[in-house]
Copies of this chain bind each other. A is one copy, B any other.
Amino acid sequence: MTHLMNRYLHSTRLLVAIDCIIFGFDGEEIKLLLIKRNFEPEKGKWSLMGGFVKEEEDLEVGAERILYELTGLDNIYVEHLQTYGKVNRDPVERTISVVFFALINIHAHDQESVRAHNAQWISLKNAPKLIFDHDRMVENALERLRYKAALHPIGFELLPEKFTIPQLQKLYEAIYDMRLDRRNFSRKILSTGLLIDTGEKNENSATKKAILYRLDKQKYESKFNAFWYFMPESS
């Protein structure tokens, strides 16, 4: 008969937190949704939004709970980044932090809830010092975003449903902090076949109104995990 165990003995149990990096894009810059803590520990300082894992809750579910609590949004793009576990990262007590990052349309969240949590959108470049190792988390999340956005059509998660090619270009320029050539960018993006011309134009323009596109969800889904840009197509 098989030996059954009820519990692992002599093993240390640790606090497990979840922290979330929330990226947004205002048309010019990449922004972070940060909270000015009105609670201990580190009250008065800036940090990521976080919380503790509940006893009967999956990690992903915990992340979604925390994101919903702050933004009122669900069904958003969330991806597990990595886990931070240095012994002294939290001076109060040893805590393992499982970190997720989310991409949201900056105009779509619940303003009221954000205010209630003392949260604010702050440009990535001017972000204040954050508590513990949260700065490193943000740094790593940006690296991951850069990877991901280069290989997969992920940037759309940061834009409204309908967007123009110049808007998309500004997004990529913000993500990679580099200027791109208008014409080459347009050619490259259109050649993916992922954009559908809605027939509408951006009426908020003071000059020539740009064409509004939307993402071809079908192609997006089918291409998402199929992008091995780097390996040869054949042979």
Residues of A within 8 A of B (CB): 2-3, 5-8, 11-16, 40-41, 43, 52-59, 80-87, 92-96, 98, 146-147, 150-151, 176, 178-181, 184, 228-232, 235
Instruction: Report the minimal beta-carbon distance from A66 to chain B, rounded to whole angstroms.
Output: 14
Give the distance in Å from the alpha carbon of A59 to the alpha carbon of B97 in the complex: 11
The reply to whether A12 and B82 contact each other, CB–CB distance below 8 Å, is no
The reply to whether A6 and B92 contact each other, CB–CB distance below 8 Å, is yes
Chain B residue at minimal CB-CB distance from A172: B231
Residues of B within 8 A of A59 (CB): 83-86, 96
Residues of B within 8 A of A230 (CB): 150-151, 229-230
Q: Kindly report how many copies of this chain are found in the complex they form together.
A: 2
Residues A14 and B53 in contact in the complex (CB < 8 Å), given A5-B92, A8-B95, A83-B80: yes
Chain B residue at minimal CB-CB distance from A51: B11
| Chain A interface main SS type | loop
A-B contact pairs, 16 of them (CB 8 A): A3-B43, A11-B52, A12-B53, A13-B13, A13-B14, A14-B14, A16-B16, A57-B87, A81-B82, A83-B98, A96-B96, A146-B228, A147-B147, A151-B230, A179-B235, A230-B230
Instruction: Report the minimal beta-carbon distance from A140 to chain B, rounded to whole angstroms.
Output: 10
Residues A11 and B6 in contact in the complex (CB < 8 Å), given A53-B85, A94-B55: no
Residues of B within 8 A of A87 (CB): 56-58
Give the distance in Å from the alpha carbon of A82 to the alpha carbon of B86 in the complex: 15
Residues of B within 8 A of A93 (CB): 6-8
The reply to whether B176 and A12 contact each other, CB–CB distance below 8 Å, is no
Which 3 pairs between the two chains have the least Cβ-Cβ distance? A59-B85, A13-B13, A150-B230
Give the distance in Å from the alpha carbon of A21 to the alpha carbon of B13 in the complex: 23
Give the distance in Å from the alpha carbon of A40 to the alpha carbon of B6 in the complex: 11
Instruction: Report the minimal beta-carbon distance from A80 to chain B, rounded to whole angstroms.
Output: 5
